[in-house]
């Protein structure tokens, strides 16, 4: 009965954790991402390698967990020859001008990549291009796309709908995916000039920010109505019954003072644990440190990446302490040789019964009755176990096929709120709210649209 009770409680919590869409409010779910200044300062106090953003130079990064753990980068000025080499000229035969994004404000569109792009070591095959000068790299869509999991050459409140000359265009040749915001202007500041810049995603994971025309200093852009950011960010999702929380575990911030006409930034990925596909590579690679192999999920990790919740739920922190030899199954050849070398004498119950033929004497009737009762008890126990296993498999299948449901949050490893930088989505009005909308069947792509204020 205890097993049944636990199973019923678990299934009820999973069902209660389903995120319901709200038709009028437009909020698909309750999201929280904490990133308070007090917590950031606390993180700096704990990690002496962290740097204050005001003291950064052009060749430094502000990382929230260790210096240059995931990326290293370098900036180039207008006089550097490398700047022109990094710029990608979009030819008419390759480029696609996105008609909706080029005539919209605070909208975003899904675009499939022709190759697997490694982002923080995880393969990305679909991205979301936003009119606000950034690409959303997350797997779960929510309203606050600007908060984290982004590639932002220049995130700001751009409004391509202001002019017919403003376009959002992209190109994919199988090795490069390029997005260019061409002649776009800031909302309510259109007279200050048009911006032209691009980001390039290379097949090997390298990310390039190219700036052709930046009419005003980035530091003078207003972030009241829309965040202003330059850099990268990734996070992991913690699903709960009443709300989902996004923990930003790493961020790269580019110094905005260096974003000028004719400048560029080249961001090169460093090896990560999640790139290793076998236990041997995971445990023996000299390119990475702190990696552990979880045989249950067949994945290598240091425990801090966008699949952290799965890592915790399957008890990978403990399993990853083992050795690769612990996971290697016994080979068939070894099993066969063991059977050949074993004695040939019958060992099965059927063979043993042959030495003692059964009789039909009436004296054996009481014994037969006892055997029948034992058989019935065993059959009942087996049937109960089969039902429990079936229900468990059904629950696992239900969870895997419904990604929006939330397993009990207590399965997550307890950590203090200030371990990862965070910031609440609530009470931010309409500062930068994006929500997914469904279009008609004639549209080939899904779009994200800004929601109205209520």
| Any domain includes 367 | no
- Give the Å distances, CA to CA, from 452 to 109, 255, 347: 18, 32, 76
- 300-326 pLDDT tens trace: 999 999 999 999 999 999 999 888 987
**216 and 295 housed in the same domain:** no
Mean residue pLDDT of the chain comes to 73
Q: Which two tokens stand for residue 281?
A: 């590579």
| Any domain includes 429 | no
pLDDT tier for residue 54 given thresholds of 50, 70 and 90: very low
**129 and 254 housed in the same domain:** yes
pLDDT tier for residue 51 given thresholds of 50, 70 and 90: very low
pLDDT top residue among 51 and 261: 261
Q: Outline where 87-225 has alpha helix (H).
A: none
**231 and 186 housed in the same domain:** yes
pLDDT at 145: 76
Number of folded domains in the chain?
A: 2
Distance CA 167, CA 198 (A): 12
Asked if residue 432 lies in contact with residue 106, where contact means CB atoms within 8 angstroms, the answer is yes
| Any domain includes 391 | no
pLDDT at 24: 30
**104 and 187 housed in the same domain:** yes
Q: What are phi and psi of 374, to 5 degrees?
A: -60, -40
- 74-93 pLDDT tens trace: 999 999 999 999 999 997 66
**258 and 324 housed in the same domain:** no
pLDDT top residue among 170 and 350: 170
In this prediction, what percent of the chain has a pLDDT beyond 90?
48
pTM, entire model: 0.63
Asked if residue 53 lies in contact with residue 47, where contact means CB atoms within 8 angstroms, the answer is no
Find the mean pLDDT for residues 116-130: 96
pLDDT at 410: 38
| Any domain includes 350 | no
- 439 closest CA partner among 169, 114, 108: 108
**191 and 285 housed in the same domain:** no
Q: Which two tokens stand for residue 212?
A: 């052709």
Asked if residue 158 lies in contact with residue 195, where contact means CB atoms within 8 angstroms, the answer is yes
Q: What length does the chain have?
A: 454
> Coil, strand or helix: which one is 435?
strand
**207 and 184 housed in the same domain:** yes
Answer whether residue 432 shows pLDDT above 60. no
Range of the domain at 290: 274-328+404-411
Answer whether residue 18 shows pLDDT above 50. no
Determine the straight-line distance between the first and last CA of the chain, rounded to whole angstroms: 49
pLDDT at 193: 96
- Give the Å distances, CA to CA, from 187 to 110, 150, 227, 261: 23, 21, 13, 20
- 275-295 pLDDT tens trace: 999 999 999 999 999 999 999
**256 and 278 housed in the same domain:** no
- 145-173 pLDDT tens trace: 788 899 999 999 999 999 999 999 999 99
pLDDT at 117: 98
Distance CA 156, CA 145 (A): 12
pLDDT at 242: 81
Distance CA 231, CA 113 (A): 21
pLDDT tier for residue 355 given thresholds of 50, 70 and 90: very low
pLDDT top residue among 74 and 441: 74
Distance CA 183, CA 200 (A): 18
Asked if residue 176 lies in contact with residue 113, where contact means CB atoms within 8 angstroms, the answer is no
**315 and 264 housed in the same domain:** no
Please give the sequence-ordered ranges of beta strands (E in DSSP) within 255-337, or none if there are none.
263-269, 292-294, 299-301
């Amino acid at each position: 009965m205890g097993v049944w009770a636990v199973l019923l409680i678990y299934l009820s919590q999973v069902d209660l954790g389903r995120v319901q869409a709200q038709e009028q409010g437009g909020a698909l779910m309750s999201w929280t991402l904490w990133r308070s200044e007090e917590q950031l300062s606390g993180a700096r106090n704990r990690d002496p390698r962290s740097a204050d953003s005001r003291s950064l130079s052009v060749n430094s990064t502000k990382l929230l967990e260790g210096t240059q753990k995931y990326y290293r980068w370098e900036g180039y000025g207008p006089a550097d020859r490398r700047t022109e080499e990094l710029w990608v000229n979009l030819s008419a035969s390759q480029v696609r001008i996105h008609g909706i994004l080029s005539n919209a404000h605070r909208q975003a569109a899904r675009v499939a990549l022709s190759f697997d792009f490694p982002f923080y070591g995880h393969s990305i095959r679909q991205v979301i291009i936003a009119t606000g000068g950034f690409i959303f790299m997350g797997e779960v869509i929510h309203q606050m796309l600007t908060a984290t999991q982004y590639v932002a050459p220049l995130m700001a409140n751009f409004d391509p709908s202001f002019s017919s000359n403003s376009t959002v265009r992209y190109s994919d040749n199988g090795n490069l995916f390029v997005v260019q915001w061409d002649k776009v202007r800031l909302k309510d500041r259109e007279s200050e000039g048009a911006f032209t810049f691009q980001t390039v995603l290379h097949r090997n994971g390298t990310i390039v920010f190219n700036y052709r025309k930046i009419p005003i200093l980035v530091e003078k852009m207003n972030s009241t109505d829309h965040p202003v950011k330059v850099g990268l960010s990734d996070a992991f999702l913690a699903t709960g019954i009443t709300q989902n929380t996004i923990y930003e575990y790493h961020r790269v911030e580019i110094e905005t003072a260096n974003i000028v006409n004719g400048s560029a930034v080249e961001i090169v990925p460093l090896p990560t644990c999640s790139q290793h596909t076998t236990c041997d590579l995971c445990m023996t690679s000299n390119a990475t440190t702190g990696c552990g192999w979880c045989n249950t999920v067949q994945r290598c990790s240091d425990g801090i990446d966008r699949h952290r919740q799965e890592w915790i739920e399957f008890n990978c922190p403990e399993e990853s302490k083992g050795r690769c030899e612990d996971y290697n199954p016994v080979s068939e050849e070894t099993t066969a040789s063991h059977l050949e070398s074993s004695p040939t004498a019958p060992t099965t119950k059927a063979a043993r019964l042959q030495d003692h033929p059964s009789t039909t004497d009436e004296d054996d009737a009481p014994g037969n009755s006892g055997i029948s009762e034992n058989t019935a008890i065993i059959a009942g126990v087996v049937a109960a176990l089969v039902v429990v296993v079936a229900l468990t498999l059904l629950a696992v299948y239900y969870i895997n096929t419904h990604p929006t449901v939330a397993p009990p949050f207590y399965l997550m490893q307890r950590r203090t709120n200030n371990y990862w930088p965070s910031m609440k989505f609530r009470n931010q009005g309409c500062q930068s709210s994006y929500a997914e909308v469904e279009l008609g069947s004639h549209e080939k792509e899904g779009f994200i649209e800004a929601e109205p204020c209520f």
